[in-house]
Amino acid sequence: MENSMLKRLREEEDEEYFRKLPAGYRFKPADQELTDYYLRRKFSGLPLPPNKIREVSSNEVEKEWYYFTPRERKYTNGSRPARKAGNGYWKATGADKVVLLKGKKIGSKKTLVFHEGKPPSGSKTNWIMHEYESSHAPVRVRHGKEDMKLDNWVYKNSREEKQKHRTPQEGNGLECQEKVEADIAAIVPNKMAAAVIEPIIMVAPPAYHQYEQLDVEPFNMNFEQDNPIPLF
């Protein structure tokens, strides 16, 4: 893993690159592209183009983003990944999704929900995480029983699901106005938003690169977070 200075320099260069792109560009690769291109190139040691994916270690406290991270074993003699993080744990929900490319399996996608407290009686939160594993990832050689590292890299993204706004019949006029203002600020460049809504909503959507080979769709990466959840 890169040392902190080089890592920070690379992130600043990427941010400068994205700032020069036209407003409205988004970084929203499909499951197949995340698994077969980004994750596969990552564990193969191949260079990646400027992107919004970061490298983190287990249990780091960060805001929402795309990221690469290794996983730790839950038990010394087992292969299940540890899911404890901060003041709670991540719990899988639903069946794993098979990621296919041209009809062949290239990986899997798991959805997890963050629970506060201790299992199995933790309280469910609005935080969700998608974890991608590649079928092409090399099996990591374990260096003794004290080596609890399960694998070198998996790809993840986590975010807080905002509660749905109430309908006009259920809410009041102010709530409806706030929703409209937030929607405008999410799709209009910040300088233009200042001219069309009052009061000004302080939302400046970052520009994400749309690579030619990516299937991109509109996606707002801005989430207000008062209490960031520790990633795992």
Q: What is the CATH number of the domain that holds 18?
A: 2.170.150.80
C-alpha separations of 61 from 5, 52, 56, 159, 188 in Å: 19, 17, 9, 13, 30
pLDDT score, position 220: 42
Residue 151, in any domain of the structure: yes
pLDDT score, position 198: 35
pLDDT beyond 70 at 184: no
| Domain identity same for 56 and 106 | yes
| Domain identity same for 86 and 147 | yes
| Domain identity same for 41 and 93 | yes
**Which tens digits make up the pLDDT trace of 43-100?**
888 887 777 676 665 445 455 667 788 889 999 888 899 899 889 999 999 999 999 9
Number of independent structural domains in the chain: 2
Residue 60, in any domain of the structure: yes
| Domain identity same for 125 and 81 | yes
Q: Is pTM, for the whole model, over 0.75?
A: no
**Residue 177: domain span:** 168-203
Strand partners, 88: 85, 116
Residues 93-117 have a mean pLDDT of 93
Tokens describing residue 168: 């006009």
Residue 230, in any domain of the structure: no
Tokens describing residue 206: 């970052």
C-alpha separations of 170 from 19, 145, 163, 183, 184 in Å: 40, 57, 14, 19, 22
CA distance 81 to 221: 28
Q: How far is CA 217 from the centre of its chain?
A: 16
Residue 81, in any domain of the structure: yes
